[in-house]
Each structure stands twice: as structure tokens, then as C-alpha cells.
Amino acid sequence: MSLSSALRAPAIEIAGLTKRYGDTLAVDHLDLEVHRGETLALLGPNGAGKTTTVECCEGYRVPDAGSVRVLGLDPRRDARRLRPRVGLMLQEGGVYPLARPREMLHLFARFHADPADPDALLARVGLADARRTRFRDLSGGQKQRLSLALALVGRPEVVFLDEPTAGLDPAARRMTWGHIRELQDDGVTVVLTTHLLDEAEELSDRVAIVDRGRLIALGTPDELTHADRDEVEFSARPGLDTADLAVALGVGVVELRPGRYVVHGPNEPTLVARLATWLERHDVRLGELQAGKRSLERVFLGLTDDSADDALVTGHGTAGEDTGGRQRSGAVPRGEVGA
């Protein structure tokens, strides 16, 4: 393959990936591509097959069927050639309990031809003061930051980040987001697994949602959250009288969860004005108003909620439709999984 062809090829190519553990089908003929320089957020409920998929890409699992290529290489057969080009951030483990951050980072740096400066990297992730603290004595957040530094020290072309901000305080979380944005600016391909949907929406170029080992939605955050029918979503204090509000607006109103409401009506100035009038009359402070768009959380729950499964598999709907018949932007029907 020529250099220009290699640069045009996807960074990660997954075709028909299938993996079983005994009678459990963890990954079910999964097709997915990740473009070079792209940040892909891989989302799904626990047990959806995310970790198995990533471990196959990292070479830690052998697929039962299908193929995986990372930078054009087989993660198992070409492991020696591939590993220097890939960074892995594990959520737990991987570091000897008595090791210190500075010595671990210097050790990992020796595995690469052109590593980042270990001491500068320690400072960047906020571990300069803890550089001589044994790993077992670090806080959970400090361990996460060390894992991130170990993933980045080799200047990788592809990085797999598993729950990179789990256990971090808000300031450390923002710092980690900054490191991920630096990777994006440098053209590094990032695969991010996270349960924090705002993190996925903030950082990713595209979002892939998997459930029961299959790809059920793929698209940019805007594509997935765009509402094809009129809806107004707002936040206010919990427990509003939605029946009375519905009468005032002339359309249905639902409290999705405490303090979060959806108005099922046309996104028009008159509706918003009536809503504002009702809130004023009842002395209710408006928190947030969103029109013509759903949160990624709503999309995710709508696609993966078990209560919707009967409609998804019996022909009364697909993963691309909700109960109102609206096509979900970017969604992939369960029977037509593909990237």
C-alpha cells in the first residue's frame, strides 16, 4: 500500500467482529470504522460489548469471527509493529503497587523511539508533586492521571481511553479534557469509552452506541441529538403540575425525570411565550430551555432501554424509530448493523 493510500485508510477497521464467552454472545457481527484523526466515543450499557471490542483492537482478545485492523495491521499477528504506535489507558491496574510515577513513566519511555519527556508529561498531568509517591498510595484520581500519562508518553498515533475521567474532581476532569483536545489538535485518533454522556458530546467527532454486541447508532453528536419533530425541553424545579401546564399550552407535557420536562408541541414563538407566561404565573424559575434537539442522554436511553426492546425486535419499530414513529438521526436498525 502506498503512503497516500495508507493515510486515506481508516485508522481502525472492524468487520463482522464476533466474540463469545461460552454461551454468551458478547460481540455480534460488529462493523465499525474509525477515521484517522477522529475522536470516536464508544457508548453502551454495561455488558454491551464495548470492552471486548476494544480489547480485540488492542490485541488482548482473539475474535471468533470477523477481522480487526488498526493502522492497517492485525493487532495480534503484527503486535510488535503496532504496539509502539498505540497508547492504552486502562481504568484499573497495569502498574506495580510499589512503583513510583516518575520511574514508571521513564520505564515506559524507554519502550519508544521518540517518547515525550517523562518529567514534562508528569507536570502536564498534575503529578509533579507525587512523582515519588508509590502507586498504591496515590489517590484514585492520581492513578487515573498516571494511566493517561503512560498512554501518551510514546507519542501514539491511536489512543484507547477507558473511562479517562472516572474518579476525577471537576478541575482534574477539565484538565484531562484539555489533554484529549491536544491529541485531537495533533491528529491523533482517539477511541473513548465513557459513561459520562456530556463528556462524549463535548469531545467526540462521532458517537457509536452499541447494545448486546451490535452497533445500534452511529453519527455526530448533532446528528444523533437532532429532533425531527418539534419538541421543547426545559428544566425547572421538580414536581410541576404537568396536567395544568399541558392545558395552558394545548399540547402534552411529560416530566422525564425530576426537574426535566418535555413539551410535545410545535417549536413556535407562541408556544414558548405561553410556557414563559405559565412559569411566571406559578413563580417558577426556568433553568434551561432547549428546542428542536434532544440530549444525548435521551437518545442513549431511548435506544438501550429494555422497555423498548419488544418494539425493536417484533417489527413495530426499529432502533431508528421512537414510539412516535420519528426516525432517529444516525440510528442503525438492529437488523442492519453497519458503520
Distance CA 332, CA 209 (A): 10
Edge-to-edge order in the sheet of strand 12-21: 24-34, 12-21, 65-70
Render pLDDT for 136-195 as a digit per residue (tens, 0 to 9).
Answer: 999 988 998 999 999 999 999 999 999 899 878 898 899 999 999 999 999 999 999 998
Q: Strands 206-211 and 214-219, how do they pair?
A: antiparallel
Distance CA 326, CA 330 (A): 12
pLDDT of residue 6: 54
Render pLDDT for 190-226 as a digit per residue (tens, 0 to 9).
Answer: 999 998 999 999 999 999 999 999 999 999 999 898 7
Q: What is the mean pLDDT of each run of 10 residues along the chain (339 residues)?
A: 62 97 95 97 94 94 96 96 92 80 94 93 93 92 91 96 88 91 96 93 96 95 79 93 96 92 88 95 93 80 62 29 34 35
| φ, ψ at 205 (rounded to 5°) | -80, -40
In terms of Cβ atoms closer than 10 Å to its own Cβ (0-12, 13-18, 19+), residue 279 is: middle
Nearest residue to 176 via CA among 285, 300, 89, 259 = 89
C-alpha cell at position 163: 473511562
Edge-to-edge order in the sheet of strand 260-264: 252-257, 260-264, 232-235, 288-291
| φ, ψ at 41 (rounded to 5°) | -95, 125
Residue position matching grid coordinates 452511529: 218
Q: Which amino acid is at 12?
A: I
Q: Is 159 left (phi over 0), alpha (psi -120 to 50) or beta?
A: beta
C-alpha cell at position 206: 462521532
Class of domain 3-223: alpha beta
Q: Domains of the chain: which residue ranges?
A: 3-223, 232-291
The H or E element that residue 19 is part of is strand 12-21
Is residue 223 within 8 Å of 204, Cβ to Cβ? no
pLDDT of residue 14: 98
C-alpha cell at position 240: 410541576
Is residue 236 within 8 Å of 263, Cβ to Cβ? no
List the alpha helices (DSSP H) in 23-131. 50-58, 79-82, 101-109, 118-124
| φ, ψ at 19 (rounded to 5°) | -145, 130
- For the chain, first and last CA: distance in Å? 23
SS3 assignment, position 14: strand
pLDDT of residue 231: 82
